[in-house]
Amino acid sequence: MVKKVLIILSICFFIFSCTVNDNTGLIVFTNRSQSNLSFKFNSTDIGKLENGKTLDYWYFNNMSGNLNVSSSYLIYTFVADYYDESNETIHYSKNNYCIFKTGYKYNVDIENITVTDPDYGITEDFTIIVIKPGYKVGVDGNDPDSIHYPGDR
């Protein structure tokens, strides 16, 4: 009897657990900076994230707009635009406008960078936000639809 209950619970867990599919999408924020941050997408509060932590944000419709982050440092946001086949690199533009589609998992990495100019003795701290390409879960990586670049308009 106990085995049957455990099997039923396991099956229910796999069926009803959170997974990325055609009707959902996931953005994983990773805060490697030294400060606590707050995120907004257009006017929607996504949440607060302490330094050294991650935040999963699930969405159920395609979203387009500006990703805004509050930080005590100067912020630069870079979003993946396209894959440059001639250089075999992903092109990023300095922009906070992005498009997130359902069916994809995106990663947003946040880090602090300190730049020092020894000639002038100036030190500047920056927060760098990198919005990476989204990957479709469960699709062959050779399929052209398997990757979405959120900065591609």
Q: Report d(CA 144, CA 39) in Å as an integer.
A: 30
The string of pLDDT tens digits covering residues 55-66 is: 999 999 999 999
Residues 6+ apart with CB under 8 A from 70: 37, 38
The string of pLDDT tens digits covering residues 22-46 is: 789 999 999 998 888 999 999 889 8
Whether pLDDT at 138 is above 60: yes
